Amino acid sequence: MMKNRFIYIWASIILTQLLTSCKKDFAAYNQNPDGVSSVKPGLLFSNALVTSSTQDMEPRTNYCHAFMQYGYSQFWSGTTYLLSDNISSRYWNNWYNPIVRNLEFIIPELKNDPSSASTYAAVRIWRVFVFQKLTDFYGDIPYSQAGQAGSLVYTPVYDTQQSIYADMINELRQSIVILNNNSNQLVQGDQFYNGSASGWKKLAASLLLRIGMRLIKVDPTQAAALVQEGVNDGVMSSNADMPVLMHNVNAPNDFNYSLADQHFFLHKTLISHMRATGDPRLNIYGAVYDKGANEGGVVLSTDTTKYVGYSFNAADSLPNTRVTYSVYQPAATPFFEFPYAEVAFLQAEAVLRGFITGDANAFYQAGITANMQSLALLSGNPSIGDAQIAAYLAKNPLSGNTDQQIALINTEFWVSGFMFDADEVWANWRRTGYPALIPNPNTLTGPSNSPGAIPRKMPYPQSEFTYNSVNVNNAIKAYGGLNDFNPAARVWWDK
């Protein structure tokens, strides 16, 4: 069983308030020699980790959940592929400030401190985790000069995604070496592994695996080499290895806020698939509710035969099935930052592509089993028994030719990523094309900024055109010269 890791972060919360005084742009950071510079790096690192899942989740639901047809809310722009700077810019604003800002402050503080080597490595690993999310969301972004307002860099250049990926790979490699050389040294401010360097090494190796698999379209040779490297370094091998943020009322999972006023319906696409496969997760993901959306409404049924999801077809029945409020909305619901199940699915696909040796079916089954078992960690401890898991695996074997098996693996990736990891699922869909989703047909004639196609890159915040206009205008040249959902708006690895 995974160790319970509860958060005691009042000091971190106070620090967040102290460090958010400069609002000129995302990189603004006031270095007060009498205050901020004396803050212990471990506290700032703890704050950065906690903030990663207490920040505004609206972009993840409004766009990523909508794109991946997990659900529907009348408030979501993503259902009809409409541009909304108010929503799309939040990912940028909430990750650069304060998360990137804090990490960029910590790194030079720890660089030359041998007693904090493992913490230095862990901070660099989390920086990769954060920047991969940002660059996969927006493409070319400020990276090498990000968070450097303390050095008077107020208009950071936009690095290409290809160069960002190259640097992230180096960061992970160097961090793994440091952790190997300081394996007995505790990681300060760790919210995931009780300070264990080995836990952070597994996370770094798993990120190498993820990065390698991202490159299958643009550089399959490097993709194979990175996957092999990550696996050889030792990726996560069970749910006990995955980074989970254990929230509480003092630092609630942000879905506590977003679901309170957007208790969304499940999508017909998701319900139909899960019902057809006999998936026991369906009555954990959602339930039939009455018409009330505030405070979760009233559960009328968890009988999945009665579930009706939101449909693109207006002639279909109205939806009655919302995301389960009692499981995902409570403040103490833990947040799965990088589920082990996804590591297993990536390895299953890597075997089929010939990148590594092993049993693709074993990894496929391990991913499904791990995801189903991990749900018991959620609020209310909803559990799926061993017999149910075995029955599901028997009904849904990994079969067919290589392409069909890759489709099955990545469709399971999609099902397993519900709620917490919709942004990663959107990236994985762009990488593989699975699940095979049919875009909202209403966007062909109705209001849409991407008629007939699911968007593949987020536009840049409009504020960048005010405060960093030269650099952002140079950046959009790689995306059709427009800051929207045009067909050329694809990130580098999505060819």
The pLDDT of residue 397 is above 80: yes
Residue bearing the bigger pLDDT, 39 or 97: 97
Mean pLDDT of 373-396: 97
Q: pLDDT tens digits for 305-334?
A: 999 999 999 999 999 999 999 999 999 999
Grade residue 35 by pLDDT with cuts at 50, 70 and 90. very low
Q: pLDDT tens digits for 453-462?
A: 999 999 999 9
Mean pLDDT of 222-226: 98
HEC sequence for the chain: CCCCCECCCHHHHHHHHHCCCCCCCCCCCCCCCCCHHHCCHHHHHHHHHHHHHHCCCHHHHHHHHHHCCCEECCCCCHHHCCCCHHHHHHHHHHHHHHHHHHHHHHHHHHCCCHHHHHHHHHHHHHHHHHHHHHHHHHCCEECCCCCCHHHCCCCCCEECHHHHHHHHHHHHHHHHHHHHHCCCCCCCCCCCCCCCHHHHHHHHHHHHHHHHHHCCCCCHHHHHHHHHHHHHHCCCCCHHHCCEEECECCECCCHHHHHHHCCCEEEHHHHHHHHHCCCCCHHHHEEEECCCCHHHCCEEECCHHHCCCECCCCCCCCCCEEECHHHHCCCCCCEECCCHHHHHHHHHHHHHCCCCCCCHHHHHHHHHHHHHHHHHHCCCCCCCCHHHHHHHHHHCCCCCCHHHHHHHHHHHHHHHCCCCCHHHHHHHHHHHCCCCCCCCHHHHCCCCCCCCCCCCCCCCCHHHHHHCHHHHHHHHHHHCCCCCCCCCCCCCCCC
Residue bearing the bigger pLDDT, 3 or 383: 383
Residue bearing the bigger pLDDT, 23 or 279: 279
Grade residue 261 by pLDDT with cuts at 50, 70 and 90. confident
Grade residue 2 by pLDDT with cuts at 50, 70 and 90. very low
Least confident range of 1-10, 74-83, 373-382: 1-10
The pLDDT of residue 425 is above 60: yes
Mean pLDDT of 339-368: 98
pLDDT at 38: 55
pLDDT at 309: 98
Grade residue 294 by pLDDT with cuts at 50, 70 and 90. confident
Angle value at C-alpha 354, between 353 and 358, nearest 5 degrees: 110
Q: pLDDT tens digits for 143-199?
A: 999 977 566 678 999 999 999 999 999 999 999 999 999 999 999 999 999 999 999
pLDDT at 154: 85
Q: Which of 19, 15, 29, 18 is nearest to 156 (CA)?
A: 29
Mean pLDDT of 277-290: 97
Q: pLDDT tens digits for 230-249?
A: 999 999 999 999 999 999 99
Q: pLDDT tens digits for 366-377?
A: 999 999 999 999
**Distance in angstroms (rounded) separating the CA atoms of residues 293 and 277:** 29
pLDDT at 149: 59
Q: Are 284 and 382 in contact (CB under 8 A)?
A: yes
Grade residue 55 by pLDDT with cuts at 50, 70 and 90. confident
